[in-house]
């Protein structure tokens, strides 16, 4: 098989093709073995390729020595009762996954649908607002497994906040908040599941409590970019403008207007 000299490859094998047109497990293995130069690989697979789960470690070790970024998503339906979530996660508990590559895997299950995927998720990797039951390997700590997630989009309310109790995000650089109201102590709640000191880019909605926002800014020691509603910005007291002028390199409004922060005096 003659293949191009690829470095990055994305394969979506979930499309609704006829059975004769669907790529099979052995065909996929043959293809990947012809691409030892790959450095980034993304796979989206359906039920047909589920046996690949047990072969991924050997396939990568044997055929893809340069691979440094790997993401996958298996969409599975109506799994047999004899196959547990632990069974799905077990192949990813080895040192190869957890220590050598630091590729962490999660499983979401809801009704008859199951998703097995690397963290962060390929699609909407930053959105945390799921109703499915989430599982991670018993060999994986909640501190380690979310280290690769760089962006969080959080619709703040008490229900959503409670859903973060089993997670910790240590390496977020982009944080988006739907609002900053008075109902909850925003800094205390965010500190429960994330490291605020790594955030560089903050985006917030149009419902902002000034005092809560002031406390949040005090915790975002490395923030240098803010996107905010212009009317909300104009309502801030002078001391907040002084703080923002000292912190920011770029300030954007929802109207995509870029403001020179040197003029915020």
pLDDT single digits (tens) 32-68: 999 999 999 999 988 778 888 889 999 999 999 999 9
Instruction: Inform me whether the pLDDT recorded for 135 exceeds 70.
Output: no
Helix (H) or strand (E) holding 245: helix 238-247
Look at residue 261 in the predicted model and tell me its pLDDT. 47
pTM of the model: 0.63
- Say yes or no to pLDDT of 226 above 90: yes
Average pLDDT in the 217-225 region? 95
Closest among 198, 110, 186, 188 to 146, alpha carbons compared: 198
Neighbour count for residue 232 (Cβ, 10 Å): 18
As a whole number of angstroms, the distance between CA 44 and CA 7 comes to 18
In percent, how much of the chain has pLDDT > 90? 32
The sign of the dihedral angle between the CA atoms of 122, 125, 127, 128 is positive
Residue 16 has pLDDT above 60, yes or no: no
Q: Report the side by side order of strands in the sheet with 250-253.
A: 151-154, 174-177, 201-204, 225-228, 250-253, 258-259
d(CA 196, CA 200): 9
- Three-state DSSP class for residue 127: strand
Question: What does R_g of the chain's alpha carbons equal in angstroms?
Answer: 22
Q: Cα separations (Å) of 195 from 171, 219, 227? A: 7, 10, 20
Report the candidate in 12, 190, 143 with the shortest Cα–Cα distance to residue 213.
Answer: 190
Task: Kindly state the tokens that stand for 237.
Answer: 């007291």
CA–CA separation, 201 and 157 (whole Å): 21
């Amino acid at each position: 098989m003659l293949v191009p000299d690829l470095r990055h490859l994305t394969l979506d094998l979930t499309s609704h093709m006829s059975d004769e047109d669907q790529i099979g497990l052995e065909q996929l293995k043959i293809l990947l073995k012809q691409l030892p130069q790959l450095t980034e690989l993304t796979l989206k697979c359906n039920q047909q390729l589920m046996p690949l789960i047990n072969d991924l470690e050997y396939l990568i070790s044997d055929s893809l020595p340069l691979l440094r970024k790997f993401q996958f998503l298996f969409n599975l339906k109506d799994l047999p009762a004899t196959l547990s979530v632990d069974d799905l996660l077990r192949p990813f508990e080895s040192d190869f996954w957890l220590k050598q590559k630091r590729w962490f895997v999660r499983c979401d299950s809801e009704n008859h649908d199951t998703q097995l995927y690397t963290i962060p998720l390929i699609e909407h990797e930053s959105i945390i607002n799921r109703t499915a039951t989430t599982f991670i390997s018993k060999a994986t700590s909640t501190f380690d497994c979310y280290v690769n997630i760089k962006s969080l989009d959080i619709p703040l309310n008490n229900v959503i906040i409670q859903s973060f109790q089993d997670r910790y995000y240590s390496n977020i650089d982009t944080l988006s908040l739907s609002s900053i109201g008075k109902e909850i102590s925003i800094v205390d709640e965010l500190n429960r599941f994330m490291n605020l000191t790594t955030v560089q880019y903050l985006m917030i909605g149009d419902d902002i409590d000034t005092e809560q926002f002031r406390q949040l800014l005090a915790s975002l020691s490395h923030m240098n970019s803010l996107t905010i509603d212009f009317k909300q910005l104009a309502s801030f007291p002078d001391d907040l403008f002084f703080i923002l002028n000292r912190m920011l390199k770029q300030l954007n409004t929802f109207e995509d207007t870029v403001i020179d922060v040197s003029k915020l005096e």
